[in-house]
Homo-oligomer: A and B are copies of this chain.
């Protein structure tokens, strides 16, 4: 019986994780949950799973949740809150496996502490690897525990890497859907509207990740994640555009063999893989090979998508530069969504923020959070200079 903590249990990955756990009651047990702000769903999850510990973001939510659980006869479920509560959820002594699925830098500390506590961690939080990858992977190596990727690309890479040793890897190839502007001429990029950018051809996702997919920054983040997770330099990580997203990623070995991973696009599959690794267990998440029809591939156009190039630069330098990349992207995308800047201002703001950020190694998660806050301030200042004439500059979270 694997005892599981879910950081971000009310989000999309958290709910998918619970759906996987539900399918295999003989294998998995929910031991702790960190639920965020959705108290109603947190209550339902606590009633359903009877964990040892539930955490909410706010203190008042925790008090309300505790009261409702007592009323429901579940006084044995301890309720905690805030950053410290999330860390307790992540490091609970009875937990074996931690699913890290809190969005944003607020998932960093608890994930790092889970690794430090010797837990096996399944990573669905992008920031863990993009802004603190050096720290987290070093700690995981020290603990001798695997970091298992819970996203389709890196999970695919993880599977393909089983075909050889790490020193037999020539390159990792991440596939990219290409986003809505794959075939849009560069001359039209300046006038791309928010509505156009939110109209992703294949995925329905949150707004920031949809814009990040349109700029290919999302793929850039994945390049950085791959570098950190698999301990390879950026030149060993390549991107290939594959609009059908049938092949989730590939690994090229030194002998010239390439392994590719294919599966349904369902997050439950990488979650199941991570939860059961190194085993595989039967699921009904079948991809019908007989339904395979056409697969297309083309190289990414770095001139059209400078964000991808910026991510490679950040990956090579690491440390404060990747923090600046991530923070500036979040600020610039928010400004674009508010129609304060144009589509092509996004990479400009990121580049200027990166240039203005001194290189620096990461010492601690607290240091990462400090650099992140500084980079956001800097990016906000730079964004103001790009704000469209006449358009009000609104507060950027």
User: Counting chain B CB atoms within 10 Å of each CB, which of A170, A242, A257, A260 scores highest?
Assistant: A257
Chain B residues with CB under 8 A of A279? 165, 168
Q: Complex formed: what's the CA distance from A295 to B295 in Å?
A: 5
CB within 8 A of A256: which of B163, B250, B287? B287
Asked if A262 contacts B250 (CB within 8 A), the reply is yes
Interchain nearest-CB distance for A213 vs B (Å):
21
Q: Complex formed: what's the CA distance from A385 to B142 in Å?
A: 75
Q: Complex formed: what's the CA distance from A357 to B64 in Å?
A: 79
Q: Complex formed: what's the CA distance from A85 to B276 in Å?
A: 52
Chain B residues with CB under 8 A of A168? 279-280
Q: Complex formed: what's the CA distance from A261 to B257 in Å?
A: 7
Asked if A289 contacts B159 (CB within 8 A), the reply is no
Is A396 engaged at the interface, CB distance under 8 Å to the other chain? no
Is A269 engaged at the interface, CB distance under 8 Å to the other chain? yes
Interchain nearest-CB distance for A148 vs B (Å):
14
Asked if B255 contacts A273 (CB within 8 A), the reply is yes
- For chain A, residues 288 to 334, give those with C-beta under 8 angstroms from any C-beta of chain B: 289-290, 292-299
Q: Complex formed: what's the CA distance from A281 to B295 in Å?
A: 30
**How many interface residues does A have (CB within 8 Å)?**
50
Interchain nearest-CB distance for A299 vs B (Å):
5
Asked if B258 contacts A263 (CB within 8 A), the reply is yes
Is A181 engaged at the interface, CB distance under 8 Å to the other chain? no
CB within 8 A of A297: which of B170, B240, B252, B289? B289
User: Counting chain B CB atoms within 10 Å of each CB, which of A259, A286, A290 scores highest?
Assistant: A259
CB within 8 A of A257: which of B253, B255, B263, B294? B263
Chain B residues with CB under 8 A of A392? none
**Chain B residue nearest in CB terms to A164:** B280
Q: Complex formed: what's the CA distance from A283 to B168 in Å?
A: 11
Is A112 engaged at the interface, CB distance under 8 Å to the other chain? no
Is A285 engaged at the interface, CB distance under 8 Å to the other chain? yes
Q: Complex formed: what's the CA distance from A259 to B257 in Å?
A: 12
Is A32 engaged at the interface, CB distance under 8 Å to the other chain? no
Chain B residues with CB under 8 A of A280? 164-165, 168, 253-255, 257
Interchain nearest-CB distance for A121 vs B (Å):
20
Chain B residues with CB under 8 A of A281? 254-255
Q: Complex formed: what's the CA distance from A260 to B289 in Å?
A: 11
Chain B residues with CB under 8 A of A269? 255-257
Chain B residues with CB under 8 A of A276? 255
**Chain B residue nearest in CB terms to A281:** B255
Asked if A296 contacts B297 (CB within 8 A), the reply is no
Interchain nearest-CB distance for A330 vs B (Å):
31
Chain B residues with CB under 8 A of A282? 170, 254-255
Is A272 engaged at the interface, CB distance under 8 Å to the other chain? yes
Is A238 engaged at the interface, CB distance under 8 Å to the other chain? yes
Interchain nearest-CB distance for A338 vs B (Å):
37
**Chain B residue nearest in CB terms to A257:** B263
Q: A173-B289, A289-B297, A293-B297 are in contact. Are A256 and B283 (CB under 8 A)?
A: yes
Is A346 engaged at the interface, CB distance under 8 Å to the other chain? no
Asked if B240 contacts A159 (CB within 8 A), the reply is no
Q: Complex formed: what's the CA distance from A381 to B250 in Å?
A: 52
Task: Pick 12 A–B contacts, CB within 8 A, sort by A.
Answer: A173-B289, A253-B280, A255-B281, A255-B283, A256-B263, A256-B283, A258-B262, A260-B260, A260-B262, A293-B296, A293-B297, A294-B295
A residues touching B (Cβ–Cβ < 8 Å)? 159-160, 162-165, 168, 170, 173, 238, 240, 242, 247, 250, 252-264, 269, 272-273, 276, 279-287, 289-290, 292-299
The 9 closest A-B CB pairs, nearest first, are A292-B297, A256-B285, A295-B295, A258-B262, A168-B280, A254-B282, A255-B280, A260-B260, A162-B163
